[in-house]
Amino acid sequence: MSPSRRTFVKLSAALGGALGLGAVPDFPFGDRGPHAAGAPRRPAGRAATPLDLLIIGGTGFTGPAQVNYALERGHKVTLFNRNKTRPDLFKGAVTELIGDLNDDTSALEGKRFDVVIDNPTTSPIWVRNVARYMAGHTGHYIFISTMSVYADNSRPDMDETDGLTPMPAGVDPFAVPAAQARNYYGAFKTYCEGLVEKTYPGINTIIRPGLIVGPLDASDRFTYWPYRIDQGGEVLAPNSPDDPTQFIDARDLAEWTIRMAEQHEMGIYNAVGPAQPMNMAELLYGIRAVTTAGARFTWVPTEFLTAHGVHGWRHMPVWVPPTGATAGFLRRGNARAVGKGLRFRPLAETARDTLDWNRTRPQKALDALAQGAVAGIPAAKEAEVLAAWHAAQGAR
């Protein structure tokens, strides 16, 4: 066994925890790594042709699963990042290039890669700065975009040909500091897609995920539900059990991205699941099935929620009103990606692993979750709205 492979195996064991080999690393946010839940890993197998991969980012949310899967498949992996998020996470198993997408990508100078996977880019400045060294020096550029590029979310089941978000009048995407790119998220991602297609013509893949969920997701946009349902009691649920929802486990996205690199697949793909439409009842009751808390759901209409300051996506994650301007937001077509091999693990696996990972987080993160600091409804607010709903029903 080579030193690099031996290092990777030791690292994977430490990350997995369940294998009982070595100490668990003390990552930021209390993370134990991408396979911390203890569920058996599905064997990856070896790729027919090993690739030389550059992964931009690689240590955040989806990146670690990409790296693990790529190494298991026998690929050579180089990471380019600032080495600030989970620093040295894969030290010894990958080549590490340190730089900053804002102003210093010189570590890429003179390098060539079979495939570049661009995970974190939200600013056109970042595409340009990477292109200074990668344009003409890679055979395949994979850009992780977003469903937020679509300008119209009112129509269900739209595919990748739907219209995109234009740049607002008077905004120069290269004059806006990268730190402010989130203010123009959909428009900037659209612009980045165009730059990628122009810079890497005929050798680019654009992947548009929906809501990415699972272990390591500190946004709480899915994590809220496993956490809250595991608390038991009466749970405020949005509008109707039949309302649609969509998401993708970060590990499914990561593994499919590596396979798309192996298959040299080009084009644009909506990466969202599950394979068949899912509604909120299936989501919430499916999550409840991996707990023993006996939570019970009270479905409260959108109008009542809105009147009491409860909003979709922010307070009721993985849900928006399925009417009007957001009727198609969680009903995007995914047939093209499924046709290229995108597969989805069972909801129970995602829910269980997310819940197990969440239990490893520090108390301050759990307190923030209970308070709805990032996503989800604060416990006190939930109780207040439920009481008001029951009072209104009793008054009828």
Give pLDDT, residue 20.
Answer: 24
Q: What percent of the chain has pLDDT over 70?
A: 89
Give pLDDT, residue 116.
Answer: 98
SS (H, E, C) the chain: CCHHHHHHHHHHHHHHCCCCCCCCCCCHHHCCCCCCCCCCCCCCCCCCCCCEEEEECCCCCCHHHHHHHHHHCCCEEEEEECCCCCCCCCECCEEEEECECCCECHHHCCCCECEEEECCCCCHHHHHHHHHHHCCCECCEEEECCHHHECCCCCCCCCCCCCECCCCCCCCCCCCCHHHHHHHHHHHHHHHHHHHHHHCCCCEEEEEECCEECCCCCCCCCCHHHHHHHHCCEEEEECCCCCEEEEEEHHHHHHHHHHHHHHCCCEEEEECEEEEEEEHHHHHHHHHCCCCCCCEEEEECHHHHHHCCCCECCCECCCCCCCHHHCCCCCCCCHHHHHCCCCCCCHHHHHHHHHHHHCCCCHHHHHHHHCCCCCCCCHHHHHHHHHHHHHHHHCC
Query: What integer best gives the mean pLDDT of the chain?
Result: 90
Q: Report pTM.
A: 0.89
Give pLDDT, residue 42.
Answer: 59
Mean pLDDT value across residues 316-325: 98
34 vs 171, higher pLDDT: 171
- pLDDT digits 0-9 by tens, 152-206: 999 999 999 999 999 999 999 999 988 898 899 999 999 999 999 999 999 999 9
- pLDDT digits 0-9 by tens, 282-318: 999 999 999 999 999 999 999 999 999 999 999 999 9
